[in-house]
């Protein structure tokens, strides 16, 4: 089973360096990705597993904001 970042304590994770992309490059990549996946993603419903992952992520974010 794959391990998610949410499976680890926050202090054990390190931030990955973000590549230095220009605004134009990010825009072009974003448009290309949307065009490539729009038909695939919009035609399928979100699975229960994906909903559960999103809910777990939201709970982790709330916990971090509260300082838990």
Contact by Cβ (8 Å): 67, 10: no
CB-side neighbour CA atoms (13 Å) of 62:
6
The string of pLDDT tens digits covering residues 45-68 is 888 999 999 999 999 999 998 886
> DSSP code of 11?
G
Whether 5 maps to a domain, the answer reads no
1 has a pLDDT exceeding 60: no
Q: How many domains does the chain have?
A: 1
Contact by Cβ (8 Å): 21, 29: yes
Whether 26 maps to a domain, the answer reads yes
Whether 54 maps to a domain, the answer reads yes
Whether 4 maps to a domain, the answer reads no
pLDDT range class, residue 34, cuts 50, 70, 90: confident
Rounded CA gap, 68 and 62, in Å?
9
Q: Determine the structural domain holding residue 58 and report its residue range.
A: 22-66
């Amino acid at each position: 089973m794959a391990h998610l970042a949410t499976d680890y304590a926050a202090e054990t994770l390190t931030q990955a360096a973000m590549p230095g992309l220009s605004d134009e490059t990010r825009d072009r990549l974003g448009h290309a990705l949307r065009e490539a996946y729009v038909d695939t993603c919009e035609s399928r419903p979100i699975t229960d597993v994906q909903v559960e992952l999103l809910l777990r992520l939201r709970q982790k974010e709330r916990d971090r904001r509260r300082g838990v």
